Amino acid sequence: MSESTNSFGAKDTLTVGDQSYEIYRIDKVEGSETLPFSLKVLLENLLRTEDGANITADQIRALGGWDENAQPDIEIQFTPARVIMQDFTGVPCVVDLATMREDVADLGGDAKKINPLAPAEMVIDHSVIIDVFGRPDAFEKNVEIEYARNKERYQFLRWGQTAFDDFKVVPPGTGIVHQVNIEHLARTVMTRDGKAYPDSCVGTDSHTTMVNGLGVLGWGVGGIEAEAAMLGQPVSMLIPRVVGFKLTGEIPSGATATDVVLTITQMLREHGVVGKFVEFYGDGVASVPLANRATIGNMSPEFGSTCAIFPIDDVTLDYLRLTGRPDEQVALVEAYAKQQGMWHDTGSSDYAEPRFSERLELDLSTVVPSIAGPKRPQDRIVVSDAKTQFDLDVKNYGVEGNFREVEVTPAEGKAYGLKDGAVVIASITSCTNTSNPSVMMAAALLAKNAVDKGLSVPPWVKTSMAPGSQVVTGYYEKAGLWPYLEKLGFYLVGYGCTTCIGNSGPLNEEISQAIQENDLSVVSVLSGNRNFEGRINPDVKMNYLASPPLVIAYALAGTMSFDFDSDPLGQDQQGNDVFLKDIWPSPDVVEQTIADSMSKEMFVKDYADVFAGDERWQSLQTPEGDTFEWDSESTYVRKPPYFEGMQPEPAPVEDITGARVLAKLGDSVTTDHISPAGSIKADSPAGRYLNEHGVERKDFNSYGSRRGNHEVMVRGTFANIRLRNQLLDGVEGGYTRDFTQDDAPQVAIYDAATAYADQDIPLVVLGGKEYGSGSSRDWAAKGTRLLGVKAVIVESFERIHRSNLIGMGVLPLQFPQGQNADSLGLDGTETFDIAGITELNEGRVPKTVKVTATKGDGQKVEFDATVRIDTPGEADYFRNDGILQYVLRSLVRS
């Protein structure tokens, strides 16, 4: 960490016990006292990293004097303390680092120099699929299948764990990245090189914000930005608006943390918080347990904010102690937060209420049991209205009149009727809720009460339990509750993301067949955070988010068309009706059971050797050496071509001439449209590639799992089955016209791009508003680049995708204000010339460039497109043909 220029004289010493740390005092900056907690974290960051060039005294003054009512327009550079990754998004990051190691050597540098400069940690949690369920060996079997499918990726990650300094891997079968982060990896206050400073992180998963519950500022970014952060590059951002969310009152009995977060999600979606920070404050904060804070922070992407943070207080310290953090660390967190004015205590005499851009308030005592669905997390439904609402909503899914019923005959057991509205998946899963002991214990106690009353789950429900860490298993065992969960079919299936990421696994064949042949509208209920269309399972049209105890309640009901107030879940041994209220555990019993069965020792034991892994992990044959030995036969991990032919100095930027349109797209094209994560179609270019390389259809796995192989991913770019390319009439999928051939026939986008590359013809993509919204998928930019696209011209960009395109050397341009492709009369058959980009060679970023589109008959359409290279750092990346090339050259020079 380089030394700050310290122009505010903020450097000081903090002594805690017998340890002294160098700190940067934010009270040296005027206006800091009434900043929100989150902006105090950013202010300290700037003071500590001030270098007079990228991070200046003017930026620091601007942050201290932040105008809470202004629209964001002041840019700052934030240097996160660490990077956290999961395996889907993390594998390509490590592939790129491995590639840079080889290429730095080719340029005359030292391969060992390519190392994370900020600590980087990866948790392998996205690859476990629920193939086996409802039986005692489900966990073992699923882990076995996971290792068989992903062996190549895991060997590669094990190599990375040994080859790179400051890069650690938490092996499969341990837990979910965000739960492992809050329970073990997060520091709240970091110490490094004798300095103490607030913990902060960026992560390659949108739910990184879960750590906000622990007072750690962090959010999800694209893999390209994460790689840059690992290599010491700051994240460019505008000082945001901060929404103050005041909490009062306490959660009533019968409601859960999940109900609170669904209520907050709906409120903040309606208010509008995209691109803003959300910060919780007020007297009610002290009564919100840490697990509930983490649950709320986790759902930040669902309401659209950049982060959703809680300040540091006694509740934070208690959680750090419970989870086995050392006493010295807890003492440091308290001393540091109090010294820096980051301690939240509304009762203290020096408490100053922060200034906020906007304010909302929720009285927690008004929260009622809720679910959300059938396709968005913000579509909250009060449980008492759920039956009525479902009976209405199911009509949108092709159910006219009464629910249809189909007879199903399983291989074992009796035949039964499967109806529209049947709950075919009931899954306790996902980081949001499985890290929260109050809802997990409530689910287990509900299961016990149900079993004691003689209730059972119908045979069509696929039940699963995928906790976020092994601690959950520990407290279930101590409380003696596992047998009751298992009696209802909720056996342990894995520690990982599972259902929420779409790894719900297949339904039993006879059920799947009945659904497909009769087009039944069936349902999943999961304790997750995402329920978008097509995400959970291809057979399941309607998906609902619910608290863990409600997941079990719906599993017992077996249908979504159910009123818990008036419909019995079954009969007890005496033949009396049993209702949900008869088995719902009281909050007192839940809290007492947690107190009796959860201890600091459990966390200490489970995390004692968290990076070591089990026998399977340790016995993987792992390549050795500073550089990776690529396997030419691998279909999972390949060396990408980003640095081929790269010279020590970048070539001058050139204007674009004679470009053709690869795709003309409409509004709200997401990164899912550009780079899908799900299944690979057999007849697609990626499917053909795998087939040619001897991979059988059943082993295709997903685009997400194959992100370490650029050959698969470039073939999967723009391959979404729902993409609509306006060069074609009414065609869905990854197709375009190939203008290198007579009559420009319809072909796969990848095949057209290959034909253009053979003739050295550059490409452009045309689009509408909000281009690149959705998950921050780095392959959406990488694939675009590898297809040969030089520029993307749209009406407006989503923040992360625009910066990712620059990071890959693709020029982001916007149509003139109020214009678009259609208003300018462009149909995509034109040839494009773009002039004026060469100004970048003189150290300037042009505000606009001249675009000339020439039609087949010679007619020209001319317009000035706005250049969306927004910062000096981005200009450097573009001049170098990409962010990784820029970093590589910088490291060779140094």
Decide: 685 and 715 in contact? Cβ < 8 Å.
Answer: yes
Domain boundary among 299, 330, 365: 365
The helix or strand, by DSSP H or E, that contains position 750, with its residue range, turns out to be helix 749-758
* DSSP letter string, 460-488: T-EEEE--SBHHHHHHHHHHT-HHHHHHT
Q: Does residue 531 lie in a domain region?
A: yes
| 494: helix, strand or coil | coil
Torsion of the alpha carbons at 641, 645, 649 and 655, rounded to the nearest 10: -80
Label residue 503 by pLDDT band (50, 70, 90): confident
What is the domain extent for residue 164? 82-128+136-365
According to the model, what pLDDT value does residue 801 have?
A: 87
Decide: 578 and 572 in contact? Cβ < 8 Å.
Answer: yes
Residue type, 811: L
User: What pTM did the predictor assign?
Assistant: 0.88
3-state secondary structure 147-213: HHHHHHHHHHHHHHHHHCCCEEEECCCCECHHHHHHHHHCCCEEEECCEEEECEEEECCHHHHHHHH
Percent of the chain with pLDDT over 90: 78
DSSP 354: P
Which tokens hold the place of 67?
């105008």
Q: Are residues 163 and 271 located together in one domain of the fold?
A: yes
Q: Does residue 9 lie in a domain region?
A: no
Pairing of strands 358-363, 242-248: parallel
Q: Does residue 94 lie in a domain region?
A: yes
Cis previous bond, 374, omega within 30? yes
Q: Are residues 887 and 844 located together in one domain of the fold?
A: yes
According to the model, what pLDDT value does residue 891 have?
A: 82
Residue 548, burial from CB neighbour count under 10 angstroms (0-12, 13-18, 19+): buried
Label residue 1 by pLDDT band (50, 70, 90): low
Decide: 892 and 845 in contact? Cβ < 8 Å.
Answer: no
Q: Rounded to whole angstroms, how far apart are CA atoms 35 and 55? A: 19
Q: What CATH number did the domain enclosing 875 receive? A: 3.20.19.10
How close are the terminal C-alpha atoms of the chain, in Å? Answer: 15
Q: Are residues 284 and 411 located together in one domain of the fold?
A: no
Percent of the chain with pLDDT over 70: 100
Residue 543, burial from CB neighbour count under 10 angstroms (0-12, 13-18, 19+): buried
Q: Are residues 335 and 401 located together in one domain of the fold?
A: no
Q: Rounded to whole angstroms, how far apart are CA atoms 602 and 569? A: 35
Query: Mean pLDDT for the chain?
Result: 94
Quick one: average pLDDT of 292-302?
93
Q: How many domains does the chain have?
A: 5
Model pLDDT for residues 199-210, shown as the tens digit of each residue: 999 998 889 999
Q: Are residues 388 and 324 located together in one domain of the fold?
A: no
Which tokens hold the place of 498?
């599972």
Q: Does residue 209 lie in a domain region?
A: yes
Residue of 415, 485, 423, 436 whose CA lies nearest to 182: 436
Q: Are residues 812 and 699 located together in one domain of the fold?
A: no
According to the model, what pLDDT value does residue 313 have?
A: 97
Domain boundary among 537, 559, 580: 580
Q: Are residues 358 and 461 located together in one domain of the fold?
A: no
Q: What CATH number did the domain enclosing 523 receive? A: 3.30.499.10
For residues 369 and 699, which has the higher predicted lDDT (pLDDT)?
369
Decide: 515 and 550 in contact? Cβ < 8 Å.
Answer: no
Q: Are residues 96 and 73 located together in one domain of the fold?
A: no
According to the model, what pLDDT value does residue 678 have?
A: 77
The helix or strand, by DSSP H or E, that contains position 19, with its residue range, turns out to be strand 19-24
Q: Are residues 356 and 381 located together in one domain of the fold?
A: no
Q: Does residue 661 lie in a domain region?
A: yes
The residue to which tokens 């050597």 are assigned: 105
Decide: 308 and 220 in contact? Cβ < 8 Å.
Answer: no
Which tokens hold the place of 209?
């914000």
Locate the DSSP E strands across 254-375.
Answer: 277-281, 307-309, 358-363, 370-372
Domain boundary among 580, 596, 613: 580
Q: Does residue 63 lie in a domain region?
A: yes
Whether residue 334 is predicted with pLDDT greater than 80 in this model: the reply is yes
Q: Report the largest interatomic distance among the alpha carbons of the chain, rounded to a whole angstrom.
A: 87
Residue of 579, 576, 577, 550 whose CA lies nearest to 564: 579
Q: Are residues 542 and 449 located together in one domain of the fold?
A: yes
Model pLDDT for residues 63-122, shown as the tens digit of each residue: 999 999 999 888 899 999 999 999 888 888 899 999 998 888 888 888 888 888 889 999
Residue of 311, 249, 315, 393 whose CA lies nearest to 38: 311
According to the model, what pLDDT value does residue 122 have?
A: 95
Whether residue 511 is predicted with pLDDT greater than 90 in this model: the reply is yes
Q: Rounded to whole angstroms, how far apart are CA atoms 114 and 176? A: 28
Q: Are residues 498 and 536 located together in one domain of the fold?
A: yes
Torsion of the alpha carbons at 457, 463, 468 and 474, rounded to the nearest 10: 50
Quick one: average pLDDT of 350-354?
88
Which tokens hold the place of 301?
């992407």
Residue 575, burial from CB neighbour count under 10 angstroms (0-12, 13-18, 19+): exposed
According to the model, what pLDDT value does residue 698 have?
A: 83
Model pLDDT for residues 789-805, shown as the tens digit of each residue: 999 999 998 777 898 89
Residue type, 714: V
Whether residue 677 is predicted with pLDDT greater than 70 in this model: the reply is yes
Q: Rounded to whole angstroms, how far apart are CA atoms 661 and 55? A: 39
Given 3-state DSSP classes, what are the helix, strand and coil percentages for the chain, each rounded to the nearest 5? Answer: 40, 20, 45
Model pLDDT for residues 812-835, shown as the tens digit of each residue: 999 999 999 999 999 999 999 999
Quick one: average pLDDT of 461-489?
97
| Cα–Cα–Cα angle for 376, 131, 461, rounded to 5 degrees | 60
Quick one: average pLDDT of 867-877?
88
Quick one: average pLDDT of 36-55?
95
Q: Does residue 534 lie in a domain region?
A: yes
- C-alpha distances (whole Å) from 681 to each of 339, 505, 719, 726, 753 are 57, 17, 9, 22, 19
Pairing of strands 277-281, 307-309: parallel
Decide: 28 and 44 in contact? Cβ < 8 Å.
Answer: no
| Cα–Cα–Cα angle for 71, 75, 77, rounded to 5 degrees | 140
Model pLDDT for residues 221-267, shown as the tens digit of each residue: 878 888 889 988 888 888 999 999 999 999 998 899 999 999 999 99
- C-alpha distances (whole Å) from 826 to each of 89, 820, 829, 854 are 36, 9, 8, 10
Quick one: average pLDDT of 650-669?
96
According to the model, what pLDDT value does residue 349 have?
A: 84
According to the model, what pLDDT value does residue 380 have?
A: 93
Q: Does residue 701 lie in a domain region?
A: yes
Q: Rounded to whole angstroms, how far apart are CA atoms 510 and 513? A: 5
Quick one: average pLDDT of 686-698?
94
β-pair partners for 219: 202
Q: Rounded to whole angstroms, how far apart are CA atoms 525 and 499? A: 10
Q: Are residues 183 and 246 located together in one domain of the fold?
A: yes
Q: Rounded to whole angstroms, how far apart are CA atoms 254 and 547? A: 11
Which tokens hold the place of 858?
């010679």
